[in-house]
Amino acid sequence: MNYDCLIIGGGISGLTCGIKCVSEGLRCGILSSGMSALHFSSGSIDLYGYHTNRKIVYQPLDYIERLIIPEGRHPYSKCGIDMIREGISFFSETLEKEGLVLYHNNDYNHFHVSTMGTVKPTYLSQRSVFNDNIKEGFKKRSKIAILNFSGFRDFYPELAAENLRKNSLFSLFDIITGEIELPLFRRTEKNPHEFRSMDIARIFDSEKYLPGIANQIVNASGGALFVGLPAFIGINNFTRIYQRLSELTGMLIYEIPTLPPSILGMRIDDALKSRFASLGGEFIAGDTVNGGEIVNGVLDHIHTENHGSTRLRSKFFVLSSGSFFSRGLVSEFNVIREPVFDLKVAASEDRREWYSPSFFQKESHPFLEYGVVTNNTLNPEDTQGATVENLFCTGAILPHYNPIREGCGGGVAISTGYFAAKKIIEGCRS
Amino acid sequence: MINLENISFDHCIKCTVCTIYCPVARETHLFPGPKQSGPDTERLRIKDPYLVDDSLKYCSNCKRCEIACPSGVKIADLIQVAKFQHLKKKIRVRDFFMSRTDLVGRLATFMSFLTNFVINLLPVKFFMDVILKIPFGRSFPKYASGTFHGWAKKKMPDQSKFRTKAVYFHGCYVNYNNHQLGKDLVDVLNAMNIGVITENEKCCGVPLIGNGYIDKAKKNAAHNIQALSRALGEEGTRIVSTSSSCSYALKYEYANLLELNNATIYDKVDYITKYLYSQFESGNIPPMKPVNLRAAYHSPCHLERMGGVIYTINVLKEIPGLDLVILHSECCGIAGTYGFKKEYYEISQSIGANLFRNIEKADVEVVITDCETCKMQIEMNTPYEVLHPVQVLARAIKNNTR
């Protein structure tokens, strides 16, 4: 197999990179070992959310340009502000071509509500989380109804409502909770307690019960302007279903993420994969890369579990295999490693420094800032300390940033993936 | 007692991604999904078999859960093993005959015209539906006259002139139903200066595993491992198969499910397109003329699981005049003998419904797929003929020699 670009890792960063590469006519493959972290994400794209003192950042691009880029080590510093802007618009346009529109607040951050009812700053959201009507409606400080389908266990309206009531942003709102029933529940063999977000999203997708559900929503929400529903308003037909449900209820419908799997994240995953395939990219699912051979600072080929002794060759490679959860990094008793090529990793050697004493500590955990060391063009170093010129590292595998504390995971994944793609396209042309 | 070695289910972090991508759980609530049937209940089953529930039987073993799992849990394998170990095996005439492909194949091909005639008679179909629980609406593959193995032994063109050879595991479908696919393979490989060896093989065991006849599957597997190892002979000889599920069984199910040592053949078995691709890559591309065909390609689940789809697509891309539409990867629903059983028939049909719609939308002349049962399912549910990649290749080669 001879590729122009072979990407290890099919998450948001690898897919962004792959789509850019194939759209420029490169032969590109993505190797993916299991579904990506998008399945557990909020489905909103964070660029930069918090100052070091935990205060909210309102203008993320401006903040990144003035305070993050000059600092030098952050992945954003390596991309530069123009690449970040270009990458984010490329990402938005890509999803729009697949019918999934992302909205932003004229370069300002907006807030989205988490499944716990906490409020987080973010930059891009789907229509059911941020749009002009929601923004205008919010100014009226009226009534919010948070509803759930009775029996659905992956969302707790009371918990979300209670946390929102404590938030000063919502102090002038009247927040109520309620339950509605799915007509299908009575005729199914399945106990409603066993339903997951996807089961309900598919029922919405069929459109069959929409008028009935809309009626129930209106009845249960006591004249509220906003209705917050767990995020399961359709998966393939989301845009259409959202529109119809808004019209049928006459209310502002707002989606709150549920416990995993996240329908909001899966909509993005579906759109990206579909775009990649329709441009002629080869997505190779369910395979694990075991290693590769680096000769004189050039990665010659890689080998995988499924392909056995067959060598997969490519002019350029991208390692976007994620962080610990996705097995892009692994922790052993007293060492943190990158398992595929054993690249140089920035991490403390003292296990006691890896984590903070409290799980929900505001400063988050140091291990989230560990990752593969790269030069300014995202090329890592092999075990001998030589730079690997044709390998780029992107996304959560990179060190020196904290996606939780800074609120920047999606932005870093997209910008570094896009940056690597630009370098690869340049390399293939020269 | 708890088997301490079998703790792979411990890697499950309960994310439910497998259940999202399970085609059976999508279509019926009778199946609680791979997460619950696999790693969740495995923890209970190993303590007390009383806690097994028979919804396990709905798993079609398509293995899409394993492709989706971010934590590397062999979910489908866990479920299959639990089925063998715990579900009471009802002796069913249907399951017995459905899994004995060699026995039935030999009988049916002996008087194939009669078999093909009788099996489509209304009273026979009615009888099968009511008594045997084989759905009335199901169509069956036609049986050929004689076996491919018999043809290969007596009538196959002389292969001794070729220095490079490949051992061909033809499988039951080529042996009893579709000789032409086997003959096409011989033509294709010969055109590439490669000789074909066939061995005295038995059914790979996939239908036996699917119907719970594990001891018989083990016997067949042991026979095949031995026969194929013997045939390998010279260094560099490969074993090829034109069936994606047979290849999967020889390579993976023998070791993972049947717990046999297949090390002698493991690294030598290729699904045919992987072998062809490596030949193409080294410059051995047969001379071809345009086929002038617009086709849709459907990737079978087991080929997806093996990571073999890219080889098929890349082999197809080498065929001149083939206008290829690659369909979104999804299960066709048949899953071997699953779709031939009355209790799963409706589930099987609704799993495939979206694929059939996409085929209709693709506006093509034929469909191409690697798997014989996918072919049966698609031919029954769409108006299109379904070809194997090797058959398309054979056409391009024949066009050249004409």
pLDDT by residue (tens digit) across B69-80? 999 899 999 998
Per residue in A202-237, pLDDT tens? 889 988 889 999 999 999 999 999 999 999 999 989
Nearest neighbour of A286 by CB, restricted to B16, B67, B274: B67
The whole-angstrom distance between A73's CA and the closest CA on chain B is 30
User: What single-letter DSSP state applies at residue B94?
Assistant: H
A116 part of contact set with chain B, CB < 8 Å: no
Identify any residues that bridge with A184 across adjacent strands, giving them in sequence order.
Answer: none
A237 in a domain, yes or no? yes
Q: Are residues A254 and A271 in the same domain?
A: no
Secondary structure element (H or E) that encloses residue A8, with its range: strand A2-8
Please compute the mean of the pLDDT values over residues A138-148 and round it to a whole number: 92
CA distance B126 to chain A (A): 29
Residues of A in contact with B16 (CB under 8 A): 196, 260-261
A270 lies within 8 A of chain B by CB: no
- Higher local confidence (pLDDT), A402 or A310: A402
Close Cβ partners of B93 (under 8 Å, ≥ 6 residues apart): B132
Closest B-chain CA to A189: B29
Q: Are residues A387 and A337 in the same domain?
A: yes
- Domain ranges for chain B: 8-86, 293-401
Q: Do A261 and B328 touch (CB under 8 A)?
A: no
How distant is the Cα of B108 from the closest Cα of chain A, in angstroms?
Answer: 37
CB contact under 8 A, A196 and B20: yes
Looking at the structure of chain A, the number of domains it has is: 2
Q: Which residues pair with B164 in a beta bridge?
A: B194
Say whether residue A330 is in contact with chain B using an 8 A CB cutoff.
no
Domain assignment present for A98: no
d(CA B29, CA B36): 12
User: What CATH number is given to the structural domain containing A344?
Assistant: 3.50.50.60
Structure confidence at residue B1 (pLDDT): 43
- Dist CA B370 CA B198 (whole Å): 20
Would you state the pLDDT for residue B2? 47
Find chain B residues with C-beta within 8 A of A266's C-beta.
Answer: 20
Kindly report the nearest CA distance between residue B282 and chain A, in angstroms: 11
pLDDT tens digits along B122-177: 888 888 888 888 898 888 889 999 999 999 999 999 999 998 999 999 999 999 99
Of the residues A152, A199, A206, A259, the best mutation for testing chain B's interface (the one with the most B CB atoms within 10 Å of its CB) is A199
Decide: A266 and A233 in contact? Cβ < 8 Å.
no
- CB-CB neighbors (< 8 A) of A29 in chain B: 310
User: Is 90 exceeded by the pLDDT of residue B183?
Assistant: yes
Domain assignment present for residue A105? The answer is no
Q: How confident is the model at residue A183 (pLDDT cuts 50, 70, 90)?
A: low
Asked if A29 and A263 touch (Cβ cutoff 8 Å), the reply is no
Which residues from A are below 8 Å from B66, CB to CB?
A: 286
Residue type, B254: Y
CB contact under 8 A, A35 and B70: yes
Quick count: other Cβ atoms within 10 Å of Cβ B297? 22
> Which A residues 22-41 touch B at CB under 8 Å?
29, 33-36, 39-40
ipTM: 0.90
- Shared domain check, A334 and A274: yes
Distance (Å, whole) CA A230 – CA A209: 17
Rounded Cα gap, residues A335 and A331, in angstroms:
6
pLDDT digits (tens, 9 = 90+) for A327-364: 999 999 889 999 999 999 999 999 999 999 998 887 88
In angstroms, the separation between the Cα of residue B274 and the nearest Cα of chain A is 9
Are A310 and A406 in a shared domain? yes
* Domains B8-86 and B293-401 fall in the same CATH topology: no
Q: Are residues A371 and A273 in the same domain?
A: yes
Contact A213, A185 (CB under 8 A): no
Report how far apart, in Å, the C-alpha atoms of B192 and of each of B185, B239, B247, B315, B390 are: 11, 16, 22, 14, 13
Contact, B345 vs B27, CB < 8 A? no
Pick the CATH number of B293-401 from 3.40.50, 3.10.580, 2.60.60, 1.10.3470: 3.40.50
A69 lies in a domain? yes
How many angstroms separate the first and last alpha carbons of chain B? Answer: 67
Nearest Cα to Cα of residue B293 among B243, B354, B365? B365
A-B contacts (CB, under 8 Å)? 77
Bigger pLDDT: A87 vs B141: A87
User: What is the reported pLDDT for A189?
Assistant: 54
Pull the structure tokens for residue A306: 């499924």
Asked whether the beta carbons of residue B72 and residue A288 sit closer than 8 angstroms, the reply is yes
Residues A76 and A123 in one domain: no
Domain B8-86 CATH (choose: 3.40.50.2300, 1.10.1060.10, 1.10.1200.10, 3.40.630.30) = 1.10.1060.10
Average pLDDT over residues B363-377: 97
User: Are residues B265 and B231 in contact, defined by beta-carbon separation less than 8 angstroms?
Assistant: no
Q: Which residue of B has its CA nearest to A273?
A: B328
Cβ distance B29 to A188 less than 8 Å, yes or no, reads yes
Q: A63 and A130: one domain?
A: no
Statement to judge: residues A25 and A148 lie in one domain? no
Residue range A107-115: mean pLDDT, rounded: 96
Q: In chain A, which among 68-87 make CB contacts under 8 A with chain B?
A: none
What predicted TM-score, i.e. pTM, was given to this entire model?
Answer: 0.93
Helix (H) or strand (E) holding A252: strand A252-256
Q: Nearest C-alpha of chain B: how many angstroms from A131?
A: 29
> Is the CB of residue B199 less than 8 Å from the CB of residue B231?
yes
Query: Same domain, yes or no, for A418 and A302?
Result: yes
Specify whether A56 is located in the same domain as A133. no
Using the beta-carbon criterion (under 8 Å), do B15 and A266 form an inter-chain contact?
A: no
pLDDT on residue B118: 87
Beta-bridge mates of residue A283 = A30
Q: Which domain holds residue A22?
A: 2-91+266-429
Convert the pLDDT of each residue in A26-41 to its tens digit: 999 999 999 999 999 9
Nearest CB partner across the interface for B307, out of A188, A307, A325: A307
The tens digit of pLDDT for each residue in A394-425 reads 999 999 999 999 999 999 999 999 999 999 99
Q: Are residues A241 and A306 in the same domain?
A: no
Q: Would an 8 Å CB–CB cutoff place B263 in contact with chain A?
A: no
Query: B267 and chain A: CB distance < 8 Å anywhere?
Result: yes
pLDDT in tens, B65-107: 999 999 989 999 999 888 888 887 777 888 888 889 998 888 8
Residue A12: name the closest of A94, A99, A75 by CA: A94
B70 at A interface, C-beta within 8 A: yes
Q: What is the pLDDT of residue A361?
A: 82
Q: What proportion of chain B, given as a percentage, has pLDDT over 70? A: 97
Residue of B27, B29, B265, B297 to mutate when probing chain A, most A C-beta within 10 A: B29
User: Are A34 and B71 inside 8 Å of each other by CB?
Assistant: yes
If you average pLDDT over every residue of chain A, what do you get?
93
Across the interface, do A34 and B16 touch by the CB < 8 Å criterion? Answer: no
B39 and B9 in contact (C-beta within 8 Å)? yes
**Start-to-end Cα distance in chain A:** 22
Q: Is B17 on the interface with A (CB under 8 A)?
A: yes
Q: Are residues A296 and A152 in the same domain?
A: no
- Report helix, strand or coil for A42: coil
Q: Do B20 and A261 touch (CB under 8 A)?
A: yes
Whether A427 and chain B come into contact, CB under 8 Å, resolves to no
**End-of-domain residue from the set A258, A278, A294:** A258
Q: Which of A231, A258, A285 is the last residue of a domain?
A: A258
User: Residue A308's closest chain B neighbor by CA?
Assistant: B267
Mutation to test the B interface, candidates A189, A283, A310, most B Cβ within 10 Å = A310
Q: How high is the pLDDT of residue B5?
A: 55
Residue A145 sits in a domain of what CATH number?
A: 3.40.50
pLDDT tens figures, B226-272: 999 998 876 779 999 999 999 999 999 999 889 999 999 998 999 99
Question: Does residue B136 contact residue B125 with C-beta atoms inside 8 Å?
Answer: yes
Cβ B72–A33 below 8 Å, yes or no?
yes
Question: What's the length of chain A?
Answer: 430
Which chain B residue lies closest to A28 (C-alpha atoms)? B310
Query: Torsion-angle region of residue A385: left (phi > 0), alpha (psi -120 to 50) or beta?
Result: left
Q: Which residue of B lies nearest to A33 if distances are taken between CA atoms?
A: B70
Tell me chain A's radius of gyration from C-alpha atoms: 22
Query: Nearest-CA distance from A128 to chain B in Å?
Result: 22
What's the CA gap between A71 and B99, in Å, rounded? Answer: 67
Domain edge (last residue) among A258, A282, A315: A258
